[in-house]
Amino acid sequence: MKKGRQVTMKEIAKKLGVSVSTVSRALQDSPELHAETKRKIVEAAKEMNYRPNLLAQSLRISRSKTLGVIVPEITSHFFASCISGIQDVANTRGYNVMICQSNELLSQEKANIQTLVSSQVDGLLISLSRETNTYEHLYELYDREINFLLFDRVQEDIPVSKVTFNDVSGAYQVVKHLLENGSRRIVYVSGPEDLYISKKRKEGYLRALSEFGVAEDPSLVLVTDLTLEGNLQVAQHILAIDPRPEAVFCMIDPVAVDVLTEWKKSGIRIPEDIALAGFTDNPTAAVVEPPLTTVSQPGYDMGKLAVSHLLDQLDGLASEDPISIVLDTTLVVRKSSQHFSSKK
Amino acid sequence: MKKGRQVTMKEIAKKLGVSVSTVSRALQDSPELHAETKRKIVEAAKEMNYRPNLLAQSLRISRSKTLGVIVPEITSHFFASCISGIQDVANTRGYNVMICQSNELLSQEKANIQTLVSSQVDGLLISLSRETNTYEHLYELYDREINFLLFDRVQEDIPVSKVTFNDVSGAYQVVKHLLENGSRRIVYVSGPEDLYISKKRKEGYLRALSEFGVAEDPSLVLVTDLTLEGNLQVAQHILAIDPRPEAVFCMIDPVAVDVLTEWKKSGIRIPEDIALAGFTDNPTAAVVEPPLTTVSQPGYDMGKLAVSHLLDQLDGLASEDPISIVLDTTLVVRKSSQHFSSKK
DNA sequence: CTGTTAGCGCCTTCAT
DNA sequence: ATGAAGGCGCTAACAG
């Protein structure tokens, strides 16, 4: 295919017999310009189908009006929602967005950062990969004074703004709900233990237990690597625990869905035989049978808030000091957790 | 926040007392360069943490090595998969990707195109919005000789390459399956009738019917606007048809899931009372109860193929003549369609 | 082998 | 009110 030649200011200038600077001024609606020349230029530009070359513009003003986003994976509904929120706000504020996915790989995350920095993004919104347990690449961004912020999958020590959900409170709510429904032996299925959300949700779990005077039982805290195999293994393991736990709280919905499916195959009834709850409120949570009790975390809102704050900082509307924005989650009670109530 | 100053070639040059062009050559690993100077420069660059300014580079060589993607919505699992495929291939071939969503709005689609063109993308991958029923903006791209290609939601007349699924065959397969299971009165729930996939899938539906000697019954072809309300209305409408149809084929999974949920509320048993099938194989399809028979269309592969072809054209590896790539779909039989078999 | 020069498209003093 | 000139960071002839 031939390379589409773009109309430039130079061509407009030549056609109208004016200088390039005059065209530039006219297109910026500069006041110090004869109204008539301005009108002519704007008209010609439209007629010739002129589009500014953002590359040249960015190079000149050394601001690309572009933001970079890194998420673990774009096919996750939650992260897709975040991205959607980010884009909506960014676009209305005149920014473009470049999205990268780390595929949960640290190496990929580093590569993404390089690319985006090279692309001269004005700022970055990063959600860390599952693998990320070393943080030099982030400190390097910090040292280079590149604007960025962490959301959802954050690392607490890095001195930049962070947007998170109140994971502790969300987990607390759902475990409290299980306790209130009469369960006492409650399993927590954790993801990899160095994950931020694994830790935070465990904290909420423990807090609820202690509030109800239930002693922590380490044999009821299980870990999955979040693969299908890992999840199924946990599902089977739980059934083998004696005496059988009354309820299970899985760190994220996908785990709960795998567990639920596996149990149904084994003839276990939910919630009659055992109660189940997840976290995230994925679209699947509402449609599995029985519908899954979970904790909803609005990704779209998170994206909007995160990018708003970053842009505020970029535009000088907010202080440069890092802040922590914590969003609230909502308990969504569905059938999967109605253990004792369903026995009546 | 302070603007992070990037190291430039100029600075490397000054530090080493060489000219900028020498630095440029060294960094490009040009052969016509003293090995020693090259080594020195590369080392200094690494030490000074030099990163090329892609903006400047793009402006200079008038290729941005960036591709633009426009999808109706990123939160759709299918489109997210496409994007994932696009990114993976694009990145390994040295391209970045800018993603936009039209939110199913024509106006937004046009705006996205403007932005991406202004950003000097080397090519575009577009999946049309639901609203898009006028195509000047695409012909304009064509006239301006901007490389682009259409995928999934295409418009057939535009002389550019297109990547689609074999929708006719997919629909044919699933309806044939329903017919083979003994159903004869089969409803087709269509989306808006000017949608490409609405038409194509109807074509497959009709072909299967006629092959089995079943006459087309216009009262069995229903249309939803794809909103929840529209879907529920259709669900109720079907139950009111006398005599009741034996099977229902919904154009896309979300519609089937809404219908299924609504029917379950009304006490209708699936597939005993009526069989149901969808199209897309969304993640939800596998986990609803009963699991939904559907047609899987691998979005990731579509994305990969689409971008591969576009890049081949850009890099001169493929002819500029538009081609049509048609991907095959796979029938996924699950419980929701076992109508007569379950009666035995 | 390396430096000089020119210019990608745009914006912005500095003159006039 | 407008034009000329310089430069953002980089590459690519063209000289030597």
The answer to whether residue B186 is domain-embedded is: yes
Instruction: Name the nt closest to B38 by C-alpha to C1'.
Output: C1
Are A241 and A305 in the same domain? no
Q: Which of residues 136-155 of B touch A (CB under 8 A)?
A: 140, 144-147
Are B209 and B335 in the same domain? yes
Region of residue A29 (phi > 0: left; psi between -120 and 50: alpha; otherwise: beta)? left
Q: From the CA of A275, how many Å to the C1' of D12? A: 70
Are A160 and A119 in the same domain? yes
Q: From the CA of A31, how many Å to the C1' of D2? A: 13
For chain B, give the mean pLDDT. Answer: 93
Residue B290 clears pLDDT 80, i.e. is over it: yes
State which residues form the domain around B128: 64-164+301-327
Place of tokens 């008539």: A36
Region of residue A328 (phi > 0: left; psi between -120 and 50: alpha; otherwise: beta)? beta
Q: From the CA of B31, how many Å to the C1' of C1? A: 10
- Which range, of A30-34, A184-188, A215-219, A270-274, averages the lowest pLDDT? A30-34
How many Cβ atoms sit within 10 Å of the Cβ of residue B239? 16
Are A47 and A194 in the same domain? no
pLDDT digits (tens, 9 = 90+) for A281-300: 999 999 999 999 999 999 99
Give percent of chain A above pLDDT 70: 98
pLDDT digits (tens, 9 = 90+) for A185-223: 999 999 999 888 999 999 999 999 999 999 999 999 999
Place of tokens 């109140």: A166
Strands A294-296 vs A247-250: parallel, antiparallel or unpaired: unpaired
Q: At what angle do helices A167-180 and A196-211 cross, to 10 degrees?
A: 40
Residue B325 clears pLDDT 50, i.e. is over it: yes
- State the DSSP H helix or E strand holding residue B99, giving kind and residue range, or none if neither: strand B96-101
The answer to whether residue A3 is domain-embedded is: no
pLDDT score recorded for residue B35: 86
For chain A, give the mean pLDDT. Answer: 93
Protein residue ranges contacting nucleic strand D, Cβ under 7 Å: A 17-22, 25, 32-34, 37-38, 56, 59-60, 62; B 6, 8-10, 20-21, 24, 27-28, 52-53, 56-57, 59-61
Q: How many domains does chain A have?
A: 3
Average pLDDT over every residue of A83-88: 96
What CATH number did the domain enclosing A221 receive?
3.40.50.2300
pLDDT score recorded for residue A341: 61
* Chain A CB contacts of B53 below 8 Å: 59, 118, 120
Whole-number Å distance between alpha carbons of B42 and B22: 11
* Chain A CB contacts of B2 below 8 Å: 145
pLDDT digits (tens, 9 = 90+) for B248-284: 999 999 999 999 999 999 999 999 999 999 999 999 9
Residues A222 and A205: beta-carbon distance below 8 Å: no
Bridge partners for A247 per DSSP: A186, A275
pLDDT score recorded for residue B114: 94
Are A213 and A338 in the same domain? yes
The three state secondary structure string of B115-147 is HHHHCCCCEEEECCCCCCCCCHHHHHHHHCCCC
The answer to whether residue B289 is domain-embedded is: yes
pLDDT score recorded for residue B341: 61
The three state secondary structure string of A104-169 is CCHHHHHHHHHHHHHCCCCEEEECCCCCCCCCHHHHHHHHCCCCEEEECCCCCCCCCCEEEECHHH
* Chain A CB contacts of B147 below 8 Å: 1, 4
Are A80 and A138 in the same domain? yes
CA distance B211 to chain A (A): 35
Average pLDDT over every residue of B150-167: 95
Q: Please report how many Cα atoms fall inside a 13 Å half-sphere around the Cα of residue A149, on the Cβ side.
A: 31
Whole-number Å distance between alpha carbons of B100 and B91: 17
Residues 6 or more apart in contact with residue B253 via CB below 8 angstroms:
B278, B279, B280, B281, B282, B284, B285, B292, B294
Average pLDDT over every residue of A16-24: 92
Are B124 and B262 in the same domain? no
Q: For residue A83, give the chain B residue with the closest CA.
A: B74
Instruction: List protein-proximal bases of chain C (any atom < 7 A from a CB).
Output: 1-5, 7-13
| B58 at A interface, C-beta within 8 A | yes
Residue B344 clears pLDDT 50, i.e. is over it: no
Q: How confident is the model at residue B194 (pLDDT cuts 50, 70, 90)?
A: confident
How many Cβ atoms sit within 10 Å of the Cβ of residue B316? 9
Are B180 and B291 in the same domain? yes
pTM assigned to the model? 0.92
| A62 at B interface, C-beta within 8 A | yes
Q: Which residue in A77, A120, A313 is closest to B53 by CB distance?
A: A120
| B55 at A interface, C-beta within 8 A | yes
CB contact under 8 A, B87 and A97: no
pLDDT score recorded for residue B286: 92
The answer to whether residue B115 is domain-embedded is: yes
Q: From the CA of B115, how many Å to the C1' of D2? A: 31
Residues B239 and B263: beta-carbon distance below 8 Å: yes
Are A292 and A306 in the same domain? no
Residue A329: alpha-carbon gap to chain centroid: 14
What type of residue is A338? Q
* Radius of gyration for the alpha carbons in chain B, expressed in angstroms and rounded: 26
pLDDT score recorded for residue B7: 92
pLDDT digits (tens, 9 = 90+) for A135-152: 999 999 998 889 999 999
Q: Please report how many Cα atoms fall inside a 13 Å half-sphere around the Cα of residue B329, on the Cβ side.
A: 25
Average pLDDT over every residue of B191-205: 93
Q: For residue B290, give the chain A residue with the closest CA.
A: A289
Residue B223 clears pLDDT 90, i.e. is over it: yes
Q: For residue B320, give the chain A residue with the closest CA.
A: A1
CB contact under 8 A, B54 and A120: yes
Residue B342 clears pLDDT 60, i.e. is over it: no
What CATH number did the domain enclosing B15 receive?
1.10.260.40
> Two tokens at A245?
């736990």
Average pLDDT over every residue of A33-40: 88
Whole-number Å distance between alpha carbons of B155 and B104: 15
Instruction: Name the nt closest to B32 by C-alpha to C1'.
Output: C1
Residue A301 clears pLDDT 90, i.e. is over it: yes
CA distance A298 to chain B (A): 13
Give the residue from B301, B306, B249 showing the smallest Cα distance to B275. B249
Average pLDDT over every residue of B183-196: 93
The answer to whether residue B4 is domain-embedded is: no
C-alpha distances in Å from residue B68, one per residue of B87, B317, B326: 11, 20, 22
The answer to whether residue B282 is domain-embedded is: yes
CB contact under 8 A, B54 and A283: no
The answer to whether residue A4 is domain-embedded is: no
Assign B288 to helix, strand or coil: strand
Query: What DSSP character marks residue B94?
Result: T
Whole-number Å distance between alpha carbons of A109 and A68: 12
Are A75 and A213 in the same domain? no
How many Cβ atoms sit within 10 Å of the Cβ of residue B22? 20
Bridge partners for B164 per DSSP: B326
Q: From the CA of A27, how many Å to the C1' of C12? A: 14
Protein residue ranges contacting nucleic strand C, Cβ under 7 Å: A 6, 8-10, 20-21, 24-25, 27-28, 52-53, 56-57, 59-61; B 17-22, 25, 32-35, 37-38, 56, 59-60, 62
* Chain A CB contacts of B80 below 8 Å: 74-75, 80
Are A70 and A152 in the same domain? yes
pLDDT score recorded for residue B96: 94
Are A157 and A264 in the same domain? no
The answer to whether residue B337 is domain-embedded is: yes
Whole-number Å distance between alpha carbons of A214 and A244: 16
Residues A126 and A154: beta-carbon distance below 8 Å: no
Q: Which of residues 83-112 of B touch A (CB under 8 A)?
A: 83-84, 87, 96-101
Whole-number Å distance between alpha carbons of B138 and B126: 10
